[in-house]
A and B are shown apart, each in its own frame.
Chain A
Amino acid sequence: MRIRAAVSIALVAGTVATAQEVTFDRLLHADREPHNWLTYSGDLAGRRYSLLTQITPANVRNLELQWVFQTRGPAEPTEKFEATPLVVDGVMYTVLAPNHVVALDATTGRLFWMYSPRLSPLARVCCGRVNRGLAVLGDTLFMGTIDGHLIAIDARIGKPIWDVAVSRPELGYSITVAPLVIRDKVIVGPAGGEYGIRGFIAAFDAKSGKEVWRFNTVPGPGELGHDTWPANSDAWRHGGGSIWVTGSYDAELNLLYFGTGNPGPDWNADPRPGANLYTDSVVALNPDTGALKWHYQFTPHDEFDYDATQVPVLADIEWQGRSRKVMLWANRNGFWYVIDRATGEFLRGKPFVRVNWAEGIDETGVPKRVLNATPAGTLVYPNNQGATNWYSPSFSPRAGLFFIPTWMDTYSTYTKGPAEYKEGNQYVGRFPTMTMPALRTGPGNVNTRTPQEGWGAIQAFDAKSGELKWQFKMTDVTDSGILSTASDLVFAGGREGYFFALDARTGAQLWKGSVGGQVSAGPMSYAVGGRQYVAIAAGSALFVYALRQ
C-alpha cells in the first residue's frame, strides 16, 4: 500500500486524471472546489457561475482550442447535443444524444469508456432524442433515458449498477433532464408534455434505485390543487406538467425547486377549464418527503406552450433595504420574475422581450391576460418556443447581474384545433405557426429572416433594480446556456455556430471561436493541474478551450 500511495502522489502531480468519491457535502459546497463541475448548473443554486479566474477579460483573446470530442456517427437533426459535462478531479463525464455516456480525460479528451444502454424502440419524444446530462454521487453516475428509465452507472468502469423503469415510454414518458442528487436521493421527472402525460417529480434511493417519494405535478382527486381542473372530467389524467430541466436546492431552507411544463393539450385549452395547477409553475418541495411547501404559477391556463422548464436561479440580494433569499426566473412567457424562495411570494415580474398576450402582471403575481387561442388564429408575442426556454441563464453574485439567453421579437399564430387523447399519440390541439424553426435548421438556407421576424440576444439585467444593463445582439436566436465567471466573463453561443466571451460588466465581445454547428447546450468551466478550461457542446461535438501556453 505504501508503494501505491507514493504512485498516486506522483500521478496527481503528473499528467494523470484520478476520480475521487463525490459526497453530498461536496455537491453542497461546490464553491470549495471550483476546479470541478459536479452538477448540471455547477452549483445547487442553479447559477452556472464559475469561481475560476485564470481566464480574464484581459487575456481571453488568447483562448485556444485544446481538444474536440466527436459524437459517433452523424447526429440526426433531432439528436442535439444538449448535455452539460460533469468534471470530477480530472475526469469528464458527459452524454452524447440520445443516451451514450462517456468518461474522458478532461485535459486531452481521450476516452476512458463509453456506455450505451439498449433503448426501447417504443420511446417517443416530441422534440429531439436528447439528454441534458448526468448527476454524480459517490462513484456512481445517474442518467435518465429517452425510454423513461433511470440508470445508475459505475463511474470507474462505465457499467450499469441498477436500471429502473420510471415511466412508460409507449405513452410518451421520457427522461431528458439531468438528475439532481439531494443527500441520498436522485431526483428526476418525465418529459412528454405533448403526449398527454401526467407529470411528476420523483426521488429514488441512490443505492438501490427504489422510488422513495413522488409529487404529482398534476394533482389527482383528493390532492391539493385538483380543483383547478374541471370536475367530472379525466382531463387531469393527461394534464401534462412535464419535468425536463434540472431544479435547484436551498440547504438552509431545505427546499427543492423545480419548474414544470405546459398543460396538455398544449394549444387547445377547452378540455381543461381552470388554472391547471401545477403546470407552468415552480414548486418548492421538501426533498426528504416530496411534500409541497409552496408553488407559484407563471402562466395559469396556458394555451401558448409556455413551459416553466427553466433552471431556478437562487440569489441573495438586497430587496427594499434588507437581504432577501430570492429566486430569479426568466420565463418562456416573456416575463422575468423575482420570487421570495422561502415563501413563494411574488416580488416582481417584468417583460424582457416584446409581449402581447398579457398587459403586465398584477401585484399578486397573476398575469393580466388579454389574448387567447382562437379558431381564426391569434398572433402572440413571444412565439411558441418562448422568450427563452430550457437554456440555462446565469447569475453573477459579484456583478449582481442576471444573464438571459433571449429570443427577441418572435411571434406565433395560435389556431385552436381539435385535440383528442389517444395513448402514445401527440395530444396538442394544433401546432402554431412560427417564423423560427423550433429545432436546429435542416437543409436549405440557414437564416434569411428580417429583424422583424425575430433575433437573438444575451441580455444582462440588474437583479436588484430590474434594469437592463446591456444586450449582446445576434442575427439568429440562441439555444445556448450562459456561463458567467468570477473574473467578469460571460460565455455563450447560438444557432449561428459561434462560441464567444463577453465582458460581464458591459456586454462587449472579447473573443469568439467558430464551432461550425448550433450551440444547444450550456457552457461550463473546470481546471486540471492549475489550468482553466471552458467547454461547450455544439453541433455533434464537444469543444474545450484554454489559454495558449
Chain B
Amino acid sequence: MAKPIALIVLAAAIAAAQEHGYTPADIENGARLYQSSCAGCHGPGGDMVPGTDLQTGQFRRATTDAEVIRIIQSGIPGTTMPPSSFTETQAGSIVAFLRNAATAGRGGRGGAAVKTGNAATGKTLFEGKGACATCHRVGGTGPRLAPDLTDVGLVRGPDELHRKMIDPSALVRPGNRYVEATTRRGAKVSGRLLNQDTFTIQLLDSNERLVSLSRSDVQTFTFVKESPMPSYRDKLTSGELDDLVAYLLTLKGLRP
C-alpha cells in the first residue's frame, strides 16, 4: 500500500505547484480529450509537432494554466493550431493531463519501453484464459462492477496496464475503490464507491444497482484494501501479458 500513498502525495504536490488542484478525474478526462482531439497532430506522446513537446511541462507560448487554456480555446493564429470549442473546464482538464504527464512520466507516451504484443491474441486471452471478461465490461458487454475498459486504450499507457496486471492492488484509481458497509439493521452492502459526503454514500452494489446510503443508517463503512483483481504474474507468460496489453491499447471508446 506504499505506492498509492506515494501517488496521493505526488498528486498533492502537483496541485500545490499549480493554480488549480487537479483531481484524478480531471486528469483522466483530460487524457480522453487529448487522445481524441489533440493526439492527431501532437501525437500520443505530445512530441509529434517538430519543436513542440507537450509533456515536458514547458510551453513556449504559455506559462500559467490560464495561458495554456487560452491557447487550447483560441488556437495560435498563423500556425496550424486551430481554435476549439472546449469549455474552460475541458481545456483545463487537458492541461491537468499534460501537467500530470510531465510530472509523473505517464500518459500516452509513458510505456514506450514496454514491448507490446499481438492484439488479436490478446483479445482471445481477454475473453478466454485470462478471464478478464468475467469481471470487466467492454463496449456495453460484461459486468459493471469492475472498471469498464471500453476506452482504456485512450487513458492508460502500456507500462501502467502491464504493472496493473502484475500487481493489481498497487494502483487502484479513486474511481475504482470498493467499499463495504453494514447498516444499523444489519444488512451488508458492498460495491464500487461512486461518491460520498459527510452525510451520505453512493455506490454501485454487488447486484449492479445504484444505492444511496444515509450515514446515519450505517454502522460500519470500510474501504476494501486489496483489489479483487488477481495478479497475472504467474498466470500468464510475459508474451501473453504483452498481447493483452496490445489488445487493451486498441480499446478507444466510441468516439476515438
Q: Which residues of B contact A105 (CB under 8 A)?
A: 200, 202, 210, 212
A152 vs B141: C-alpha distance in the bound complex, in angstroms? 13
**Considering the chains assembled together, what is the distance between the CA atoms of A118 and B212 in angstroms?**
28
Contact at A156–B204, with CB atoms within 8 Å? yes
CB of B148 within 8 A of CB of A108, answer no
Task: Judge if A11 is at the interface, Cβ distance under 8 Å.
Answer: yes
**Is there an interface contact between A15 and B217, defined as CB atoms closer than 8 Å?**
yes
B18 close to A (CB within 8 Å): no
- Assess whether B200 is in contact with A108, with CB atoms less than 8 Å apart: yes
Query: Which 3 pairs, one residue from A and one from B, show the smallest C-beta to C-beta distance?
Result: A161-B140, A121-B85, A105-B212
Q: Is the CB of B189 within 8 A of A11?
A: yes
From B36, B204, B207, B217, A157 is in contact (CB under 8 Å) with B204
Question: Known: A16-B213, A118-B33, A121-B84. Is A72-B89 also a contact (CB below 8 A)?
Answer: yes
Query: Nearest B residue to A108 by beta-carbon distance?
Result: B200
Interface residue B49 (Cβ < 8 Å from any Cβ of A): no
8 Å CB interface, B140-165 against A: 140, 144, 148, 150
Do A17 and B212 have beta carbons less than 8 Å apart?
yes
Chain A residues positioned under 8 Å from B148 (CB to CB): 157, 159
* A224 interface residue per 8 A CB criterion: no
Q: Show 16 residue pairs from A and B whose CB-CB distance is below 8 angstroms, ordered by the A residue.
A: A11-B189, A11-B211, A14-B183, A16-B189, A17-B212, A18-B211, A19-B209, A72-B89, A110-B202, A111-B195, A111-B202, A118-B36, A156-B144, A156-B204, A156-B209, A156-B210
A contact residues around B33 at 8 Å (CB) = 118
Contacts of A163 in B (CB 8 A): 254-255
Is A162 a contact of B254 with CB atoms below 8 Å? Answer: yes
Query: Given A73-B87, A119-B85: A14 and B217 within 8 A (CB)?
Result: yes
List B contacts of A231 (CB < 8 A): none
Q: A107 near B: Cβ within 8 Å?
A: yes
* Contact string against B for A residues 335-377, beta-carbon threshold 8 Å, 1 for contact and 0 otherwise: 0000000000000000000000000000000000000000000
In the bound assembly, the distance between CA atoms of A19 and B205 in angstroms comes to 11
Whether the pair A11, B202 counts as a contact (CB closer than 8 A) is no
Contact assessment for A15 and B212 in the assembled complex, using a CB-CB cutoff below 8 Å = yes
Counting chain A CB atoms within 10 Å of each CB, the highest count among B150, B187, B200, B253 belongs to B187
Contact with B along A19-63 (1 / 0, CB 8 A): 100000000000000000000000000000000000000000000
Asked if B185 and A4 make an inter-chain contact with CB atoms under 8 angstroms apart, the answer reads: no
Q: How far is the CA of A7 from the CA of B227 in the complex (A)?
A: 23
- Chain A, 44-91, CB within 8 A of any chain B CB: 72-73, 90-91
Q: Tell me the complex Cα distance, A6–B186, Å.
A: 11
Please indicate the chain B residues that have their CB under 8 angstroms from the CB of A72 in the complex.
89
Name A165's closest neighbour in chain B (CB-CB). Answer: B255
Asked if B226 CB lies within 8 Å of chain A CBs, one says: no
Nearest neighbor of B194 in chain A, beta-carbon distance: A112
Tell me the bound Cα distance from A18 to B84 in angstroms: 40
- Contact-size category for B: 35 or more
A468 within 8 A of B: no
Q: Is A123 touching B210 in the complex (CB atoms < 8 A)?
A: no
B140 neighbours in A (Cβ, 8 Å): 152, 154, 159-162
Contacts of B150 in A (CB 8 A): 159-160
CB proximity of B64 to chain A, nearest CB, Å? 19
Partner of A159, one of B137, B205, B207: B137
A10 partner residues in chain B, CB cutoff 8 A: 183, 185-187
Contact B88 A112 (CB under 8 A): no
Taking the complex as formed, is B208 at the interface, i.e. its CB lies under 8 A from any CB of chain A?
yes
B19 contacts chain A at the CB level, 8 A cutoff: no
List residues of chain B with CB under 8 Å of any chain A CB. Answer: 29, 32-33, 36-37, 84-89, 137, 139-140, 144, 148, 150, 183, 185-189, 194-195, 197, 200, 202, 204-214, 217, 253-255
List of B residues within 8 angstroms of A14 by Cβ: 183, 185, 187, 217
A519-B210 Cα distance, complex, nearest whole Å: 29
Cα–Cα, bound, A25→B5 (Å):
50
Question: Which residues on A sit within 8 Å (CB–CB) of B32?
Answer: 118
Q: Could you tell me if B139 and A156 are in contact, using CB atoms closer than 8 angstroms? A: no
Q: Is the CB of A15 within 8 A of B213?
A: yes
Q: How far is the CA of A280 from the CA of B178 in the complex (A)?
A: 53
Question: Is there an interface contact between B194 and A8, defined as CB atoms closer than 8 Å?
Answer: no
Interfacial chain A residues near B84, Cβ < 8 Å? 121
The docked-state distance in angstroms from the alpha carbon of A6 to that of B207 is: 12
User: Taking the nearest CB of chain A, how far is it from the CB of B158, in angstroms?
Assistant: 23
Complex contact A117–B255 (CB within 8 A): yes
B215 to chain A, nearest CB (A): 10
Contacts of B212 in A (CB 8 A): 15-17, 90, 105, 107-108, 110, 112
Given contacts A6-B187, A161-B140, contact A110 B206 (CB under 8 A): no
**Are A18 and B209 also in contact (CB < 8 A) when A11-B189, A105-B200, A157-B148 are?**
yes
Bound form: Cα–Cα A107–B189 in Å: 19
A103–B209 CA distance with the chains assembled, in angstroms:
12
CA distance A384 to B87 in the complex (A): 31
Residue of A nearest to B150 (CB): A159
Which residues on A sit within 8 Å (CB–CB) of B209? 8, 18-19, 156
- Give complex CA distance A163, B144 in Å: 19
Given A118-B36, A157-B148, A113:B194 Cβ within 8 A: yes
Known: A16-B211, A73-B89, A118-B36. A112 touches B195 (CB 8 A): yes
Are B255 and A4 in touch, CB under 8 angstroms? no
Given contacts A11-B189, A163-B255, A73 and B88 within 8 Å (CB-CB): yes
